Each structure stands twice: as structure tokens, then as C-alpha cells.
Structure 1
């Protein structure tokens, strides 16, 4: 690749990210006005201020657009957990409880999730978080693994992967079946997963006391 080509790459990537953000934001706006079954690619293109061909080139299809939106929801999950960890250093139970509470609150208000849960059945959306959930699971697990490795948890890659994979799988399962009022889902997830985090931290502390390397 030429030097000129290398110099243009960051701009091209930034422009593509701006396009995707504009399109997905436009889609979110439309979903606050109408059900997903009534939203077309033409509607989204018009709302985002781009051509339908540009939309096709970037997302491929209506299903591809929904998948990209769902990936952004997966990013929200990771970000909420990260914020929970940052706000509760050393407290695994509070970290997970706070992170999941914020995620469930955010998901409940998301227009695509609300569309999934209301009106007629939408098998295309349901497949995104069930039978076809692998891309979301892999994406969120990879990002969350890095969070657990580089936060105060200081987990190894293997430890973080196990924790992240379990948390993401459980969290995604709540999308089509939201937490019911008489169950405290964030607290239950915290009770289930926090001991694993506490064990990681404890082992790391023992190793440090004995002068052994953490990883």
C-alpha cells in the first residue's frame, strides 16, 4: 500500500463509522415512531440522509441492519459492566449488580427491544438473540474479556473469557424474557458470578504475597 493510501485509511474508517452511527441513530428514531415490521430500508436511508444503495453497500440487507443495531446493544452491555466495575473497585457483587441493573434498564427502554416484545411475532429479531446470536455473543465476550483483564479484577485471558462468556449468555437470555418484578435479576446474577471474581482476586493476592507472578 502506498504512503498516500495509508494516510487515507484512518479517514476512511472514521467516515464509515460516522455513516454507521448516523444510520443506526436514524433507525432508532424510526423505531420510536413505528414498529420494526413497518420500517423499511428506504425509511432508514431517508432518515439518515443517505441513499438506499449506500445502505445496501454497508449493511447488505434489512437483516444486516438489524444485526448491526443488535451489536450496538451488545456494546451497551459491555459498557454498563465496565462502568459498574469502575464505580465499585474491589466489590465484585456491587460491580455486577450495578452493571446489570443499568443494562436491563437501558434494554427495557430500547425501541428495538420494545418492538420485539410487542405486537406480532418478529422471528427475524428473535433469531438475532437466540439461534443466530453467535456474532453478538462472540463480539460482547471478546470486549468484556478485555474489560476483566484490564480492570481491577486483573483476570487472566482464560479466566476473563469464562466469566465474560457466562455473563453475556445470561444477559442475552433476558432480552426476550425480561426480568419479572418479583425477581431481582441483577442481584441474582451478582450472587451467581461474583464468587468467581472474588476467587480470582483472592488467588492473585496470595500469589502477590508469596512473590509469585500473577499470570
Structure 2
């Protein structure tokens, strides 16, 4: 019985990943506004009801797509942070630059930004203002890094620094004022100052 349940869970996870990939591809190609549950279902070869059963509607699919994208970003950011150890400026710079560079090249982020300018795209708020998605995923990585390399910092200092640097980085993705390298330099300096107890 346990094997059957494990097999079912494995199949469901594969289906979920395939649906999210299809939604991502369709969003990049046509914009989120044009993506219908039926299109996602057809791309994977399942019924529209299957997509609804998995995500409960477009909002659930948007959230799953956002979470998938943010988790991938967060893992790359983790690598950049840990590569520089306790050097706050270098780690912050590398992580922020990676984020800004990837956001500038990421076709999903570009599609979301283009769609969001019209004010009706559900993905833009999910990518930028949902604290349980962006702040939790990216914040978890930053807190893991500070615990490993700056373990004596007070929790309130870490919380403030993590929240601020994430929000500032997101604002530079949406409204870039300078090159990614220049923005990363400025934000890394802010991060250094915020992490002082």
C-alpha cells in the first residue's frame, strides 16, 4: 500500500512540474493574460479539469508558477552567498548581482513585467509583493547564510537586513536605475551597514 501511495505521489509531482513548465512556456510566449487553463492542459496532454484539480484555478497556478521560479532563484542566490563565506560585502554583491542579471535575462520575469504594466497581470504581484513567497524563500536562504557565517548577529538585525535587501533588490528589478553591477555595489553596501549590530 505504501509503494502504491509513493508511486501515486511521484506521478502527481511529475504532473505538477509538467503543468508548471507548460504554464511558464505559455506565459513567456503569449503573456500571462493569454494563458488559459485549457491551454496548459493541452500542452501537457491532460484534461482541463486535471489542471483545476491540481491548482484550483488560475490564481493557484500563478502562485505555483511564482513559487517554482522564486525557489530556483533562491537556490542560485544561496550558492553565490555561500561561495563568499563571511565576507558580507562580497557575498551580498555576488547574490544581488546574480539576481539582477538573471532577472534581466529571465524571459518569465520579462513577460510578467510587460504584462504587469497594463495593471491586470496576476503574476506581477505574486512575484513582487507576496511575503510568503518571495520574502520566505529568499529570506530563508539569507537567514541560513547568516546563521552559518555570522552566528552572533542578533535576530532582529538579521530580520531587518534580510527584509530590506530583498525589497530593495526587487525594486531594482522592477525599476532599474543603473547597471546591475552598479546597483549590486550600492545594495551590497546597504547590506553591510544593515548587518551591523
Greater alpha carbon shift after TM alignment, 40-49 vs 170-179: 170-179
Q: Please, what TM-score do these two structures have when normalized by structure 2?
A: 0.79
Match of 2:133 in 1: 136
Q: Distance in 2 between matches of 1:110 and 1:167?
A: 20
Distance 1:97 1:44, change over 3 A: same
Secondary structure of the structure 1 residue equivalent to 2:90: helix
Greater alpha carbon shift after TM alignment, 142-151 vs 83-92: 142-151
Match of 2:174 in 1: 176
Confirm whether residue 103 of structure 1 aligns to residue 130 of structure 2.
no
Whether the 8 Å contact between 1:145 and 1:157 is mirrored in structure 2 is no
Indicate which of 118, 123, 126 corresponds to 2:114. 118
Whether the 8 Å contact between 2:28 and 2:111 is mirrored in structure 1 is no
Within a 5 Å distance, the mapping from 1:33-48 to structure 2 comes to 33-48=29-44
Q: Which has the higher contact order (CA 8 A, sep 6+)?
A: 2
Distance 1:96 1:52, change over 3 A: same
Distance 1:46 1:155, change over 3 A: farther
Deviation at 1:161, TM superposition (A): 3.2
Deviation at 1:191, TM superposition (A): 0.3
Between Structure 1 and Structure 2, the one with more helix by share is 2
Q: Answer with 1 or 2: which has the greater Rg.
A: 1
Deviation at 1:22, TM superposition (A): 1.4
Confirm whether residue 26 of structure 1 aligns to residue 22 of structure 2.
yes
Distance 1:42 1:103, change over 3 A: same
Whether the 8 Å contact between 1:96 and 1:190 is mirrored in structure 2 is yes
Deviation at 1:83, TM superposition (A): 1.0
Q: Which runs of 5+ in 2 are unaligned?
A: none
Secondary structure of the structure 2 residue equivalent to 1:192: helix
- The superposition leaves residues 129-172 of structure 1 with CA deviations (integer Å, 9 ceiling, x where unpaired) of 45x52332453255225523553233668254333322322233
Whether the 8 Å contact between 2:37 and 2:58 is mirrored in structure 1 is yes
- Paired positions, count: 194
Greater alpha carbon shift after TM alignment, 44-53 vs 89-98: 44-53
Q: Which runs of 5+ in 1 are unaligned?
A: 201-215
Please give the root-mean-square deviation of Cα atoms over the aligned residues, in Å: 3.0
Within a 5 Å distance, the mapping from 1:55-204 to structure 2 comes to 55-118=51-114, 121-123=118-120, 124-129=122-127, 133-140=130-137, 143-144=140-141, 146-154=143-151, 158=155, 159-181=157-179, 184-197=182-195, 199=196
Q: Please, what TM-score do these two structures have when normalized by structure 1?
A: 0.73
- The superposition leaves residues 157-204 of structure 1 with CA deviations (integer Å, 9 ceiling, x where unpaired) of 82543333223222333343245339721111100012344x46xxxx
Q: Distance in 2 between matches of 1:155 and 1:179?
A: 35
Greater alpha carbon shift after TM alignment, 170-179 vs 22-31: 170-179
Distance 1:18 1:97, change over 3 A: same
